[in-house]
Structure formats: C-alpha cells, structure tokens
C-alpha cells in the first residue's frame, strides 16, 4: 500500500529544532513502513524542496495544498504524534474516502507479497 505518514511538523509555531525532530519522527515511521513492504509518503518531504525554491514566505501556500493532494493518492494513513491541524486535515481526506487510518505502527498490517 501507499501509506501517508501524518505527524505534527510546525504545529504550535515549532522552532527549527522541533521541526527537525518532527521530520525525523515522520521519516523513522516511514522507514518502518518500508521495512514491512509498504511505500511510505510524507507530505512535508514533498513540500520542503518546493518551499526552499519558492521562498520560506510561501510555506503556507505550498505545504498543505501539496500534502492534501498527496493524501488523495494514497491508500491509507498512519497518524502519529501530538496535536496538529494539518495532520488532522490529512486524516479527514482518508476518512471521507473510507480508507484505513492507523494510529500506531503496530496496527499496520504487513504488505501482501502477492501484490
């Protein structure tokens, strides 16, 4: 499955160190999903290079539109971490489509090797 990882990134005005820790948490979860045979995707990882190219002032204009578009393409979502309106908005995309929403890595089934 293509599984999106949703976690707070900049919630609460997180500073640089907190954002780096949040991104590491998402990437660590993504690697764990990869290890059990899934294709993990993170909206922040898609958006950050574009934000760097467009300028930091374009953060809000780029981050959520890209993340929500990515959510439309995935099969499930893993929602981890604390409060985040952005991560919760991503979850709502999956709920609206009646797709799986997981709240712990242990709840995600291993990928079906037959495809």
Range of the domain at 53: 2-9+22-105
pLDDT means per 10 residues, the chain with 115 residues, are 95 83 96 98 95 80 93 98 94 98 97 80
- In this structure, is residue 97 part of a structural domain? yes
Question: Can you give the three-state secondary structure of the chain, one letter per residue?
Answer: CEEEEECCCCHHHCCHHHHHHHHHHHHHHHHHHHHCCCEEECHHHHHHHHHHHHCHHHHHHHHHHHHHHHHCCCCEEEECCCCCHHHHHHHHHHHHCCCCEECCHHHCCCCCCCC
pTM: 0.92
- In this structure, is residue 68 part of a structural domain? yes
**What pLDDT was estimated at residue 24?**
96
CATH number at residue 33: 3.40.50
């Amino acid at each position: 499955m293509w599984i999106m990882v949703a976690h707070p990134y900049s919630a609460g005005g997180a500073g640089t160190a907190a954002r780096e820790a949040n991104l590491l948490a998402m990437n660590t979860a993504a690697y764990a999903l990869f290890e059990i045979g899934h294709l993990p995707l993170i909206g922040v990882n898609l958006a950050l290079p574009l934000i760097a190219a467009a300028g930091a002032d374009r953060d809000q204009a780029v981050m959520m539109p890209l993340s929500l578009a990515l959510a439309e393409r995935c099969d499930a979502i893993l929602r981890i971490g604390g409060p985040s309106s952005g991560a919760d908005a991503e979850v709502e995309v999956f709920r609206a489509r009646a797709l799986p929403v997981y709240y712990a890595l242990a709840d995600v089934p291993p990928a079906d090797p037959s495809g």
